[in-house]
């Protein structure tokens, strides 16, 4: 029979014992690490160590002889000069954009004329080759059905006699997530009157900016015919941080006053509040006007105070605002019809990795405010 001692003696060599101890030590170490990782103080200390390492690649710079460090400073000064030349490059890009904007404008004007029924395009202008792929996949029968449906719709349309392209811009807004998120139900009847969005660039020699103009037909909601939103750009390296310069950034924006018709201000709502009189204990109801969600809040963005300090909410609102302003300028206005039909929408994912824009959208999204 085997007793315990002989079992130990026979089944475990010293090497086995070492292995067991190593495994045990590993388990223990693991547990310890887990505990450490759950301890916020240890985590914070670790993070601090890691942060300290960023930007000081292994203390190599510190280890350099003084004379070499001195020369590295000279290189950094050259780099600052490069940033200033780069700023000039972007100024010329801006000039080019202004020049080409003038070439696009007659086409955008014609687009607007067709949308708002100021111009009826000729048959020739309306000819459009059908999508070949689509035609191949649609069977003959379905094609016939489609034809019948189109014919029917045509009749319906003729009855209603729509003018231009009804709800063109409202449809664009609804098709673009970034914009539809801002859109409230009570904004829609107003945006049906939106007839055009134009981009105006600042003049040469002026501080760089662009203005989005929202042109409305006469309506029951406000008396303005144009609502504007201007985005100021910083097109020069920041003196205190010249190496962060990577092209113009949106630095701030201003909206405009909307002259609402009485009772139509959708950015306001009235709420009833019960108020208790402290002494007498009586309760009365008071009405208060408070801000209401609306796309039209886009025209009264939070102001950036002199100090540049913003509360978190305003900062989030502005970051989203800059993104929207940039998107309208870069994407919506140049290719509105494709957002109306939905053709531009799938493409957007591809565009993210495609450095097609010199305006470096990412920088515009997260400006240093
Ligand atoms: C305020 O917003 C709500 C919901 O978004 C909407 O139903 C309401 O009509 C708005 N109020 C006004 C006065 O427009
Ligand atoms: C409309 O509401 C905004 C607040 O959202 C307010 O600042 C503005 O003065 C109001 N305009 C009119 C004409 O009532």
What are the DSSP calls for 47-90, one per residue? HHHHHHHTTSGGGHHHHS-HHHHHHHHHHHHHHHHHHHHHHHHH
pLDDT attached to residue 178 = 93
Ligand 1 midpoint to CA 269 (Å): 6
Q: Quick check: CB of 97 below 6 Å from ligand 1?
A: no
Burial (CB < 10 A; 0-12, 13-18, 19+), residue 208, is buried
For the chain, the C-alpha Rg in angstroms (whole number) is: 32
The C-alpha atoms of residue 203 and residue 190 are separated, in whole angstroms, by: 32
Ligand 2 midpoint to CA 264 (Å): 10
Question: pLDDT digit of tens for each residue in the chain (369 aa)?
Answer: 444 444 444 444 556 555 656 655 666 556 655 555 566 666 666 666 655 555 556 688 889 999 999 999 999 999 999 999 999 999 999 999 999 999 999 999 999 999 999 999 999 999 998 766 555 555 666 766 777 677 666 666 566 789 999 999 999 999 999 999 999 999 999 999 999 999 999 998 899 999 999 999 999 999 999 999 999 999 899 989 999 998 999 989 999 999 999 999 999 998 888 888 878 888 888 888 899 999 999 999 998 877 778 888 889 999 999 999 999 999 999 999 999 999 987 654 544 444 444 444 444 444 433
Q: How far is the CA of 269 from the CAs of 133, 148, 260, 293, in angstroms?
A: 50, 47, 13, 9
Q: Quick check: CB of 190 below 6 Å from ligand 1?
A: no
The C-alpha atoms of residue 160 and residue 143 are separated, in whole angstroms, by: 26
Name all residues whose Cβ lies below 6 A of ligand 2.
260, 265, 267-268, 291
DSSP 260: B
Mutate to test the pocket of ligand 1, among 180, 292, 295 (most ligand atoms within 8 A of CB): 292
Mapped onto helix, strand or coil, the DSSP state of residue 275 is: strand
Nearest CA to ligand 1 atom 2: 292
Ligand 1 midpoint to CA 46 (Å): 49
The C-alpha atoms of residue 181 and residue 217 are separated, in whole angstroms, by: 24
How many Cβ atoms are within 10 Å of 285's Cβ, its own excluded?
8
Q: Quick check: CB of 184 below 6 Å from ligand 1?
A: yes
Q: Quick check: CB of 264 below 6 Å from ligand 1?
A: no
Q: How far is the CA of 323 from the CAs of 199, 209, 236, in angstroms?
A: 15, 15, 20
Nearest CA to ligand 1 atom 14: 266
* Residue in 108, 100, 98 with CA at minimum distance from that of residue 202: 98
Domain ranges of the chain: 4-50, 85-121+165-365
Nearest CA to ligand 1 atom 13: 269
Longest dimension (CA), the chain: 108
Nearest bound ligand to CA 296?
2
Nearest CA to ligand 1 atom 9: 186
* Residue in 349, 348, 326 with CA at minimum distance from that of residue 339: 348
pLDDT attached to residue 345 = 79
Ligand 2 atom closest to the Cα of residue 259 is 13
Q: Quick check: CB of 188 below 6 Å from ligand 1?
A: no
The C-alpha atoms of residue 172 and residue 167 are separated, in whole angstroms, by: 9
pLDDT attached to residue 25 = 61
Ligand 2 midpoint to CA 226 (Å): 17
Mapped onto helix, strand or coil, the DSSP state of residue 122 is: coil
How many Cβ atoms are within 10 Å of 232's Cβ, its own excluded?
18
**Tokens representing 79?**
């780099």
Nearest bound ligand to CA 297?
2
Ligand 2 midpoint to CA 260 (Å): 8
The C-alpha atoms of residue 297 and residue 313 are separated, in whole angstroms, by: 14
Nearest CA to ligand 1 atom 7: 186
Topology given in CATH for the domain delimited by 85-121+165-365: Arylsulfatase, C-terminal domain (3.30.1120)
Ligand 1 atom closest to the Cα of residue 186 is 9
Angle CA 361–225–221, to nearest 5: 100
* Residue in 191, 260, 192, 188 with CA at minimum distance from that of residue 222: 260
Ligand 1 midpoint to CA 339 (Å): 27
The C-alpha atoms of residue 369 and residue 364 are separated, in whole angstroms, by: 11
- pTM assigned to the model: 0.72
Ligand 1 midpoint to CA 242 (Å): 46
Q: How far is the CA of 56 from the CAs of 21, 50, 52, 62, in angstroms?
A: 40, 11, 7, 9
Q: Quick check: CB of 362 below 6 Å from ligand 1?
A: no
pLDDT attached to residue 140 = 62
Query: Which residues, including other chains, have CB under 8 Å from residue 45's CB and lie 6 or more apart?
Result: none
pLDDT attached to residue 359 = 43
Ligand 2 atom closest to the Cα of residue 291 is 5
Mapped onto helix, strand or coil, the DSSP state of residue 22 is: helix
The C-alpha atoms of residue 313 and residue 304 are separated, in whole angstroms, by: 12
Ligand 1 atom closest to the Cα of residue 268 is 13
* Burial call 6-31: b when 16+ CB within 10 Å, e when fewer: eeeeeeeeeeeeeeeeeeeeeeeeee
């Amino acid at each position: 029979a085997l007793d315990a001692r002989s079992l130990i003696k026979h089944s475990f060599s010293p090497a086995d014992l070492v292995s067991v101890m190593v495994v045990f030590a590993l388990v223990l170490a693991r547990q310890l690490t887990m505990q450490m990782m759950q301890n916020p103080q240890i985590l914070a200390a670790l993070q601090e160590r890691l942060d300290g390492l960023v930007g000081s690649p292994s203390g190599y710079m510190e280890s350099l002889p003084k004379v070499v460090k001195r020369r590295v400073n000279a290189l950094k000064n050259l780099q600052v000069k490069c940033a200033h030349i780069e700023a000039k490059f972007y100024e010329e890009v801006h000039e080019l954009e202004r020049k080409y904007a003038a070439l696009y404008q007659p086409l955008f004007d014609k687009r607007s004329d067709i949308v708002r029924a100021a111009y009826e395009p000729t048959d020739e202008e309306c000819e459009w080759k059908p999508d070949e792929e689509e035609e191949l996949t649609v069977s003959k029968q379905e094609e016939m059905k489609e034809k019948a449906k189109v014919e029917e719709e045509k009749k319906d349309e003729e009855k209603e006699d729509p003018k231009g392209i009804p709800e063109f811009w409202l449809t664009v807004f609804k098709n673009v997530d970034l914009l539809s998120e801002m859109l409230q139900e009570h904004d829609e009847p107003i945006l049906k009157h939106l007839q055009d969005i134009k981009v105006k660039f600042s003049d040469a020699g002026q501080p760089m900016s662009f203005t989005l103009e929202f042109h409305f037909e006469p309506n029951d909601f406000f008396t303005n015919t144009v609502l504007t939103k201007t985005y100021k750009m910083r097109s020069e390296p920041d003196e205190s941080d010249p190496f962060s310069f990577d092209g113009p950034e949106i630095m701030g924006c201003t909206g405009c006053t909307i002259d609402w018709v009485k009772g139509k201000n959708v950015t306001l709502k009235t709420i009833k509040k019960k108020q208790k009189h402290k002494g007498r204990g009586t309760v009365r109801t008071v009405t208060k006007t408070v801000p209401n969600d609306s796309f039209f809040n886009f025209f009264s963005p939070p102001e950036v105070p002199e100090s540049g300090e913003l509360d978190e909410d305003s900062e989030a609102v502005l970051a989203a605002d800059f993104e929207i302003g940039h998107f309208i300028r870069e994407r919506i206005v140049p290719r509105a019809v494709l957002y109306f039909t939905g053709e531009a929408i799938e493409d957007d994912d591809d565009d993210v990795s495609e450095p097609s824009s010199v305006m470096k959208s990412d920088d515009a999204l997260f400006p240093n405010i």
